[in-house]
Amino acid sequence: MIYLLLQHHIEDFARWKEGFDIHLAARQAGGATHEVMVLRNIDNRQEIIALLGWRDLTTARLFVQSVSWQMALERMGVVGEPEALFLEGV
């Protein structure tokens, strides 16, 4: 199992959450599994960390480079470029 860890800063949580939820079908079509964990930094409420399960590394890498994801980040009000880490379960 591959995991994609995304860390990013947002303008507004409600806007981000709505956009993230709307983008679910696109993520799954791009190879995401149903495994999702969303965390919010207690000391910086504008920082979000999302851990997403992915079927394989190739589709995870393609997804973060996709136009669909870049457009979703803009709609969600993400500030700057999010950090993306590709992880594997051990």
pTM, to two decimals = 0.90
Question: At 9, phi and psi to the nearest 5?
Answer: -105, 145
Cβ atoms of residues 30 and 66 within 8 Å? yes
| pLDDT tens sequence across 11-45 | 999 999 999 999 999 999 999 999 999 999 999 99
Q: What amino acid occupies position 79?
A: V
Domains of the chain, with CATH numbers?
2-88 (3.30.70.100)
| pLDDT tens sequence across 51-75 | 999 999 999 999 999 999 999 999 9
